[in-house]
Amino acid sequence: MQITLHTDRDVFDHLHGEWNALLKRSSANLIFLTWEWQSTWWDAYQAGDLWLVTCRSDDGTLVGIAPWFIENRADERVLRTIGCVDVTDYVDIIVSAQDIEAVVTELSAFLATHRQAYTRINLCNIQESSPTLEYFPKQLQLHGFSVEVELQEVCPIITLPADWEAYLESLDKKQRHELRRKIRRMEGEQVERMVVGADADIEVETERFLGLMRASHPDKALFLENPRNATFFRNVIRLLHTSGWLQISFLVINGLPSAAYCNFDYDGRILIYNSGLVPDENAQLSPGIVLLCYDIQSAIKAERAAFDFLRGNETYKYRMGAKETQVFKLKAN
């Protein structure tokens, strides 16, 4: 197997044609690992020294990508995954499913050979189902590393049933009653769920969403004041829209956009990435929860398998019927 270290941004351009094809063959086919997300994150943040490792079989086929970088701190150099950690929910190495053990073995040997280049390893946001957690720690230990796998955060997920009524029946009685009551109350208003279509002016719709996002909470407004964050959001939304993976939904009440969700529709799942809300406008109608219900209904109708709330243990996610999954951090030195 041919292992190559890439330290120049041009590697994203060189791998453009192969990256997502490998991702689809991997056991971690995640939107946050697509070429679009990874290259956009790097261009926006450039959070250290690029340290991307590719693995090719003897015939030249790309079978693995370790999308890493080295973060330079005052007294250490930390090996991390591109996207880690604030604006990305799941990351991993990208490996053809049939080659996972061989690739992880080679990567571990590579890391051992190049230990002088970094101080320690800190790989975040690895899903509990990832084969990386099974194979990587063992191989790193065989090469003399001290390894720790620790719980990082939780990601509540709804496994979607065949129809809306089945979903409601899966909730506890009190929550089922509350959702039905909120939806009925909204029916007395002039209300419309609007979804940004393929032909929409995505720049205009992005600004509409970001306006609601800023209004929803001071922390979100502060987050978007950072030009790197704002640039990343605008650029990644544009690329995901072009790829057909973006779902921005608005709830318009009596002619006014009152709530919004920026979701991703990828690999048979809906992922709830961020939200916006006018706090005092129509608050008594619970527009955020009602729009969430409409988005779940839409996902069920489209036969999506899951509705993923991504990282965070906010109470409303569990009230909507989500069950906890875990993400882990792999640390080694």
Q: How many CB atoms sit inside 10 A of residue 323's CB?
A: 12
Helices 218-225 + 202-216 axis angle, to 10 = 130
Residue 96 DSSP label: B
In a domain, 324, yes or no: no
In a domain, 200, yes or no: yes
In a domain, 325, yes or no: no
Residue 92 is part of a domain; what is its CATH number?
Answer: 3.40.630.30
3-state secondary structure of 329: strand
pLDDT at 275: 97
Helical residues (DSSP H) of 119-201, grouped into ranges: 132-142, 164-169, 173-186
pTM: 0.96
Which tokens sit at 307? 């509705």
Last residue of a domain, one of 96, 127, 154: 154
Which tokens sit at 291? 């729009």
pLDDT at 281: 75
Last residue of a domain, one of 134, 154, 174: 154
Last residue of a domain, one of 137, 154, 171: 154
In a domain, 312, yes or no: no
Verify that 120 and 14 share a domain, yes or no.
Answer: yes
Yes or no: say if 36 and 239 are a contact pair by the CB < 8 Å rule. yes
Q: Could you list the pLDDT tens digit for every one of the 333 residues in the chain? A: 999 999 999 999 999 999 999 999 999 999 999 999 999 999 999 999 999 999 999 999 999 999 999 999 999 999 999 998 889 999 999 999 999 999 999 999 999 999 999 999 999 999 999 999 999 999 999 999 999 999 999 999 999 999 999 999 999 999 999 999 999 999 888 999 999 999 999 999 999 999 999 999 999 999 999 999 999 999 999 999 999 999 999 999 989 999 999 999 999 999 999 999 998 778 889 999 999 999 999 999 999 999 999 999 999 999 999 999 999 999 999
pLDDT at 35: 98
Yes or no: say if 291 and 266 are a contact pair by the CB < 8 Å rule. no
pLDDT at 283: 83
Verify that 298 and 253 share a domain, yes or no.
Answer: yes
Q: What contacts 299, CB < 8 A, 6 or more positions away?
A: 160, 270, 307
In a domain, 204, yes or no: yes
